[in-house]
Amino acid sequence: MRLKSLQIESLGDGGWESPLLEFGYRTTMLFARNGSGKTPVVRALASALGFPNSFRTDILEKCKAVVLRAESEGKPLTICRTIEATNEGFYATIDFDGEQTEHHSQGTFSLALFQLLGLKPPRLVSTRGEEAQPYISTLLPVFYLIQGYGYSAAYRAPNSFIADQFAEMVRFAFGLNPKHSYEVKKTLIEERSALEAQTRKIVAAQRVLEYQSRGVDDSDANQAVLQRTAENLTQQIDGLRESVDARGTASSTLTELLRQKDLQIRARQLELFELQNRVAGIETIRAEIDGEVKTLGLNEEARRVFTSFQEICRVPNCGLFLGSTESYGKNLLYLKDQIKDLERNSQRAEIRVEQLEERLEELGAERQTLVDNLESPNTSGVDQLVTAVQALTKQLVGVQGELGRISGLKEERSKLFKLERERDRIQDRIDGLSNTGRADHEFNKLRLTLRELTVKWMQTLETQNVSTNVDIDLNLRFTFGGETLDVIGSGGSSSTTIRLVLAIHAALLEAYLSDKSRPFRFLILDTPKQEELHTADLARYLTELEKMCEANDAQLLFSSTEYDHPTGSKDKRWLPSYRGPDKPMYLGKRSDLLAHDEPT
CATH number, residue 464: 3.40.50.300
Could you give the CA distance from residue 125 to residue 132 in angstroms, rounded to a whole number? 5
SS3 of 296-341 = HHHHHHHHHHHHCCCCCCCCCCCCCCHHHHHHHHHHHHHHHHHHHH
Question: Do 145 and 276 share a domain, yes or no?
Answer: no
Percentage above 70 pLDDT, the chain: 86
Domain edge (last residue) among 394, 417, 433? 433
| 447, amino acid identity | R
Rounded to the nearest 5°, which phi and psi values hold at 214?
A: -65, 120
Question: Do 458 and 504 share a domain, yes or no?
Answer: yes
- Does 190 reside within a domain? no
Which contacts (CB < 8 Å, 24+ apart) does range 306-315 have? none
- Does 187 reside within a domain? no
Please state at what angle helix 322-375 crosses helix 381-433, rounded to 10 degrees.
Answer: 150
Question: Do 38 and 172 share a domain, yes or no?
Answer: no
Question: Do 19 and 106 share a domain, yes or no?
Answer: yes
Rounded to the nearest 5°, which phi and psi values hold at 551?
A: -75, -20
The model's confidence at residue 321, banded by pLDDT at 50, 70 and 90, is very low
Higher pLDDT, 498 or 387: 498
Could you give the CA distance from residue 282 to residue 89 in angstroms, rounded to a whole number? 81
Whether 529 has a pLDDT exceeding 50, the answer reads yes
Q: Which of 57-66, 149-158, 569-578 has the lowest mean pLDDT?
A: 149-158
pLDDT in tens, 10-39: 998 899 999 999 999 999 999 999 999 999
Domain edge (last residue) among 385, 401, 433? 433
pLDDT in tens, 118-165: 999 999 999 998 999 999 999 999 999 988 778 889 999 999 999 999
The model's confidence at residue 512, banded by pLDDT at 50, 70 and 90, is very high
- Provide the pLDDT for residue 249: 61
Question: Do 328 and 239 share a domain, yes or no?
Answer: yes
- Does 220 reside within a domain? yes
Question: Do 163 and 232 share a domain, yes or no?
Answer: no
- Does 216 reside within a domain? yes
Domain edge (last residue) among 414, 433, 452? 433
Question: Do 423 and 341 share a domain, yes or no?
Answer: yes
In this structure, are residues 385 and 304 in contact, taking their beta carbons and an 8 Å threshold? no
Closest CA to 395 of 422, 420, 370, 419: 370
**Sign of the dihedral through C-alpha 509, 105, 152, 59:** positive
- Does 456 reside within a domain? yes
- Does 295 reside within a domain? yes
Question: Do 174 and 207 share a domain, yes or no?
Answer: no
- Does 421 reside within a domain? yes
Question: Do 463 and 378 share a domain, yes or no?
Answer: no
Range of the domain at 557: 119-179+440-564
CATH code for position 418: 1.10.287
- Does 185 reside within a domain? no
Question: Do 397 and 518 share a domain, yes or no?
Answer: no
Domain count, the chain: 3
In this structure, are residues 137 and 157 in contact, taking their beta carbons and an 8 Å threshold? yes
CATH code for position 76: 3.40.50
